[in-house]
Amino acid sequence: MARRTDRPKGMRARRDRNGVVTYYLLRKDGSKLVLGQNFELACAQWVHEQQSRVALACPATALELLHGIEQCSLPLASRQATARRRSEMDTLRAFFTEHGDPTLEEITGEDVFLRWYGDAVRPGQPDSAIRMFRLVWKSASKLWIVSTGCPWNTFDLRKAQLKMEAADVVRHFASTPLSEFLEALLGKSTATTGHCVVDGYDHAERMQNELKHAVTRAVLMLRKCGRADLVAPVYQLKIGELIALSDSAILPLARPPGLILLNHQRNEILGSIKAKANASVSDSDTSRRHDRIEPAEGVTRSAPPSGFVVEER
């Protein structure tokens, strides 16, 4: 009997002489737990049995928790999803292994994980690994393994990256002290962080006013060069959010990896190409009209015969 590829680990199947398949699970004591003949219901019972085992074992450390919750997970439908989940779990295991496999009470916020993640080139994205850990913690909470909320907060790395790309655009149109702050924020100056140039509320309010003027000039250039995708992020920039981002552990992960070009005149080039293409089509239509043979002056075209003509004898 061919094994189902979506059958969870440890689930067995037996087919009787009538071809009916019965699913079952062997416990550690050697007893057999019959899961039934319906595969979906058998999977639900399999999950319940695995969760009972994990709750009884009561994992006390991070690695034990990851292993226990992973044992309760059903196979995913696609290979891509399976590979992504494996990569996220491997990232979490590597982090907690390097940090001494802390107990569940010793796990702190996600800042430590983000700094560790940014120290080397690692597969995937850090926010996806954080979402996976939050799912693991949620599953542990349902099994009464933990009684507190997850110490890691969720976040969207792409939003922070868009904000940093917008700050990189505005930097080209900013004056001092805003330009110095943005250069430090983007890691383009000798300063390590951007908050060092923000000194007091009045200074921050002054830079917010300067930011408004720089945003206006930046938006004009973005529309001119065809980068309309960055117009909204540039408009939404707030100096307070940038100051908070300068103290965040995700700052090295959110910085743009390259340069943003704003003087390539994309719209003008595309407009020129379209104009040449339209002119070429128009010339082709004109030449086809001139190539038609017109009748000589005074000669009329005869209509084509519409049927047979019977000649009289």
Cα–Cα distances (Å) from 24 to 20, 69, 127, in that order, read 13, 21, 38
Average pLDDT over residues 291-299: 56
Asked if 152 and 240 count as a contact pair (C-beta separation under 8 A), the reply is: no
Q: Which residues pair with 22 in a beta bridge?
A: 14
196: left (phi over 0), alpha (psi -120 to 50) or beta: alpha
pLDDT over 70 at 30, yes or no: yes
Are 198 and 248 in a shared domain? yes
**265 falls within a domain:** no
**281 falls within a domain:** no
Q: Is 246 or 302 the better-scoring residue by pLDDT?
A: 246
pLDDT over 70 at 4, yes or no: no
**308 falls within a domain:** no
Q: Quick one: tokens of 194?
A: 């951007």
Are 168 and 237 in a shared domain? yes
pLDDT tens digit sequence for 88-108: 999 999 999 999 999 999 999
The domain total for the chain is 3
Cα 166 from Cα 214, distance rounded (Å): 11
User: How confident is the model at residue 313, as a pLDDT?
Assistant: 46
User: How confident is the model at residue 110, as a pLDDT?
Assistant: 92
**221 falls within a domain:** yes
**218 falls within a domain:** yes
Are 106 and 161 in a shared domain? no
pLDDT tens digit sequence for 148-170: 999 999 888 889 889 999 999 99
**4 falls within a domain:** yes
Q: State which of 254, 274, 307 marks the end of a domain.
A: 254
Asked if 127 and 92 count as a contact pair (C-beta separation under 8 A), the reply is: no
**210 falls within a domain:** yes
Cα 28 from Cα 50, distance rounded (Å): 12
User: How confident is the model at residue 101, as a pLDDT?
Assistant: 96
Cα 1 from Cα 153, distance rounded (Å): 46
Average pLDDT over residues 27-53: 88
Are 183 and 246 in a shared domain? yes
Residue 91 belongs to what domain range? 60-155
User: How confident is the model at residue 227, as a pLDDT?
Assistant: 84
Average pLDDT over residues 222-236: 88
Are 150 and 161 in a shared domain? no
Cα 313 from Cα 307, distance rounded (Å): 19
Q: State which of 155, 190, 225 marks the end of a domain.
A: 155
- SS3 of residue 233 by DSSP: helix
**66 falls within a domain:** yes
What rounded mean pLDDT belongs to the chain? 83
Cα 252 from Cα 114, distance rounded (Å): 9
Task: Out of 129-138, 177-186, 194-203, 248-257, pick the least confident.
Answer: 194-203
Q: Is 64 or 311 the better-scoring residue by pLDDT?
A: 64
Q: Is 262 or 127 the better-scoring residue by pLDDT?
A: 127
C-beta neighbour count of 255 within 10 angstroms = 18
User: How confident is the model at residue 262, as a pLDDT?
Assistant: 75
User: How confident is the model at residue 195, as a pLDDT?
Assistant: 45
Are 185 and 121 in a shared domain? no
pTM value is: 0.70
Q: Quick one: tokens of 309?
A: 């003509």
Q: State which of 155, 178, 193 marks the end of a domain.
A: 155
Average pLDDT over residues 52-72: 94
